[in-house]
Chains A and B, each alone.
Chain A
Amino acid sequence: MFYATLLWEYMKNYAKTRLTYRADFWLEVLSDLMFQGLNLIFILIVFQHTPTLGGWSEAEVVFVYGFFMVPYGIFTTFFNLWNFSERYIVKGEMDRVLTRPAHNLYQILLENIDPPSLIGSAVGLVIMGLSWSQLGLPFEVLDLVMLLVFVIGAVMIYAGLYTALTAISFYSDAPTGILPLMYNIQGYGRYPINIYNKAIRFLLTWLLPFAFVGVIPASYFLGRNEDGLSTLALYTPLVGAIVLVIGLTIWNRGIKRYRGAGS
């Protein structure tokens, strides 16, 4: 309950600060959408030169992309820690956060909340809907439930992985620069996983499970069961829970090493 009121208060604060820079707000929404659009352009360009990608049609790959956008939008709304090391560790703002009763990670996430990213999720849903009817897939109520389950699982995977990566700042004081690189890798979870070789497939499925935020859960709806993909989809929430627990553990251990910035 305490945490819910905090969320509400931070949201109100966010709205107030953003309303001072209205033009900026729309600029950000626009650039966010273009950012997503550019990735879609890649898919469209590729399919001008080949009818299928590893046996997947254009509509199917676009569907996977639409699904990919939904958890991604939710994740970026609540997780904006790209400059965590600079702002909270080098400048010592972590001191302020740690003196308060709410869990430190929760506070930091809310301080950097970014609701406009949710528009990306909405666009993702529209893309999914369009390719859904284009592919003539049957629609059941169960699909909605599964969509919700998969999206929650995928958001947990993102949150766990990026929490762990951000927590590296506690162990090493150098800026790691690893986050923007990770950004590229997560994109590979959008493509049919069977086109990669064993090593990359293993990496994307089990080590950095980005296949679970894109192609694997999406294959459940598409009914594609090569290599047991759509069966694997059912494990999405489980993988999410495991990754999240690992991420939080690394974070909580890291926070104990925090000693504050000198001066």
Chain B
Amino acid sequence: MLSAYMDLIRIRFIMMLAYRVNYYSGILIYTLNIGAYYFLWQAIYNNQTELGGFTLAQMTTYVAVSWMARAFYFNNLDREIANEIRDGSVAIQFIRPYSYLMVKMMQGFGEGIFRLVLFMAPGMVLACLLFPVSLPTDPGTWALYLVMLAFSFLINSQINMLTGLFAFFVENNEGMLRMKRVLVDLFTGVVVPISLFPGWLEVLMKWLPFQAITYLPSSVFTGRTTGVDAWHVLLLQAIWFLVLIVPILWVWRKARTRLFVQGG
């Protein structure tokens, strides 16, 4: 059984490899994103030395690391699941002797490995060359961050799966998918660190899983969160990972009884 899932990872990785040329443009565009936000933040800082607990140097690192982390954990599982539900191919998946949700997660993982090696890593090198990014020197921070990155991927994929599964209940969830994408970029803190949000929104974010995807891990990596607090971040990620399994399984159970295929 396990080898079947391993193969799914391998197949998706090879599939992505076939399209690797497209990701060269991706690296350039992500670097451009980092550049645009770098200058935007420079203008926002103007003469202030610190905003929301970040110095400008930390903010630059935060922006670069967050965008490159996004390059890794981003996937289109939500759209894939929604499409398979809409065109009915999910029905075939039902009768196969594996868990559909696990299959999707493994495919996402295969894509993630590809993105880590051929997108995030070279992108990070390029960003470090172009912008004054200061990387941590402590190998422990690096190790901790890599574990957190794995959780970022898991939690983001879980949210994607949950959104995709809603296609069982609404005929056309294109709008929802688009909204989710923007919502996630804002709430995870890729665009603005959560500590700069207005008070009430900052409090709200503490109770939602999004901060565990980018904001908290990036805060550790930039050296803003250290020591015991850093371990708390990891714990929080693990808790969110476990908590999110519940609604996914619940929706999945509910959904199977009401699948109707349009057209198909």
CB distance from A248 to the nearest CB of B (A): 22
For the complex, what is the distance from the CA of A183 to the CA of B193, rounded to whole Å? 21
Partner of A53, one of B22, B44, B178, B192: B44
Are B175 and A177 within 8 A (Cβ)?
no
Partner of B32, one of A32, A174, A185, A192: A185
CB distance from A9 to the nearest CB of B (A): 23
Number of interface residues of A (CB under 8 A): 39
Are A45 and B197 within 8 A (Cβ)?
yes
CB distance from B260 to the nearest CB of A (A): 14
For the complex, what is the distance from the CA of A239 to the CA of B32, rounded to whole Å? 23
CB distance from A200 to the nearest CB of B (A): 6
Overall SS of chain B's interface: helix
Contact A174 to B19, CB < 8 A, known contacts A27-B175, A184-B33: yes
Q: Which residues of A contact B36 (CB under 8 A)?
A: 185, 188, 196, 200
For the complex, what is the distance from the CA of A28 to the CA of B26, rounded to whole Å? 29
Are A28 and B196 within 8 A (Cβ)?
no
CB distance from A199 to the nearest CB of B (A): 8
Q: Which residues of B contact A139 (CB under 8 A)?
A: none
Are B21 and A46 within 8 A (Cβ)?
no
Overall SS of chain A's interface: helix
Contact A35 to B29, CB < 8 A, known contacts A174-B22, A175-B22: no
Are A50 and B48 within 8 A (Cβ)?
yes
Task: Confirm or deny: B35 has a beta carbon within 8 angstroms of a beta carbon on chain A.
Answer: yes
Task: Confirm or deny: A195 has a beta carbon within 8 angstroms of a beta carbon on chain B.
Answer: yes
Interface centre among A21, A38, A203 (most CB of B within 10 A): A38
Q: Which residues of B contact A199 (CB under 8 A)?
A: 35
Interface centre among B22, B51, B52, B175 (most CB of A within 10 A): B175
Q: Which residues of B contact A27 (CB under 8 A)?
A: 170, 172, 175-176
CB distance from B211 to the nearest CB of A (A): 15
Task: Confirm or deny: A5 has a beta carbon within 8 angstroms of a beta carbon on chain B.
Answer: no
Give the top 5 A-B pairs by smallest Cβ distance, nearest first.
Answer: A31-B175, A195-B43, A28-B175, A31-B179, A181-B29
A-B contacts, 19 listed (Cβ < 8 Å):
A21-B172, A27-B172, A27-B176, A31-B178, A38-B182, A38-B183, A46-B40, A46-B192, A49-B48, A49-B52, A49-B196, A50-B44, A50-B46, A53-B40, A177-B19, A181-B30, A184-B33, A191-B40, A196-B36
